[in-house]
């Protein structure tokens, strides 16, 4: 499989691709044809714009949230080299990907309970087969603490 690029969240609105219609820029065309769809699929929040025949040399321009621009020259590189370079400068490293995956697993684990913002369920009573919350459905008398205390008191008398 090809290399997959998950871009950093700090990447701004859109990278732009500047290509020129010359034969020496075939790798740039291959990059656009094969790799841009992969990048868009893995990073749906990123908008990509392409400009053709505007500059004599092809390059990629990325805009970061801080307003900074990152330029990548692609004139003499193959599409694989371009992908590796982008992954190196703008991609998430393995540690970050593993950390995000662990957080995602931890948040979506069905055994966790808490506010809906963080967990799938707020209470154990939402699980099928569990006793419902006493605030919503009254418990049977035998399961209440008052009844058990009264039984103990009557047994001691």
Q: Which of 70-74, 109-113, 146-150 has the weakest average pLDDT? A: 109-113
How much is the pLDDT for 153?
Answer: 92
Confidence of residue 103 (pLDDT cuts 50, 70, 90): confident
**H or E, element range at 85:** helix 79-90
What is the rounded CA–CA span in Å between residue 30 and residue 78? Answer: 8
Name the strands in the sheet holding 59-63, side by side, starting at the edge strand that comes first in the sequence: 49-52, 16-19, 59-63, 69-73
Question: What does the alpha-carbon distance between residue 155 and residue 117 come to, in Å, rounded to a whole number?
Answer: 48
DSSP β-ladder status, 59-63 and 16-19? antiparallel
How confident is the model over 9-65, as pLDDT tens digits? 666 545 566 666 654 556 677 888 888 888 888 888 888 888 877 777 788 888 888
Look at residue 25 and give its three-state secondary structure: helix
Q: How far apart are CA 74 and CA 154, in angstroms?
A: 88
- Domains of the chain by residue range: 16-93, 104-156
pLDDT of residue 18: 63
CATH number for region 16-93: 3.40.30.10
- In the chain, what's the furthest Cα-to-Cα distance? 102
According to the model, what pLDDT value does residue 108 have?
A: 67
């Amino acid at each position: 499989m090809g290399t997959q690029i998950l871009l950093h969240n700090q990447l701004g609105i859109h990278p732009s691709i500047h290509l020129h219609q010359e034969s020496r820029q075939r790798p740039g065309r291959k990059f656009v044809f094969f790799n841009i769809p992969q990048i868009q699929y893995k990073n749906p929040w990123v908008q990509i714009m392409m400009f053709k025949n505007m500059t004599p040399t092809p390059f990629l321009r990325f805009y970061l949230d801080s307003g900074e621009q990152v330029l990548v020259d692609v004139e003499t590189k193959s599409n694989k080299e371009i992908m590796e370079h982008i992954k190196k400068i703008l991609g998430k490293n393995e540690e970050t990907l593993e950390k995000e995956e662990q957080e995602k697993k931890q948040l979506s684990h069905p055994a966790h309970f808490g506010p809906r913002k963080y967990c799938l369920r707020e209470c154990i009573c939402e699980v099928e087969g569990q006793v419902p919350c006493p605030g919503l459905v009254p418990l049977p008398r035998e399961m209440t603490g008052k009844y058990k205390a009264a039984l103990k008191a009557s047994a001691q008398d």
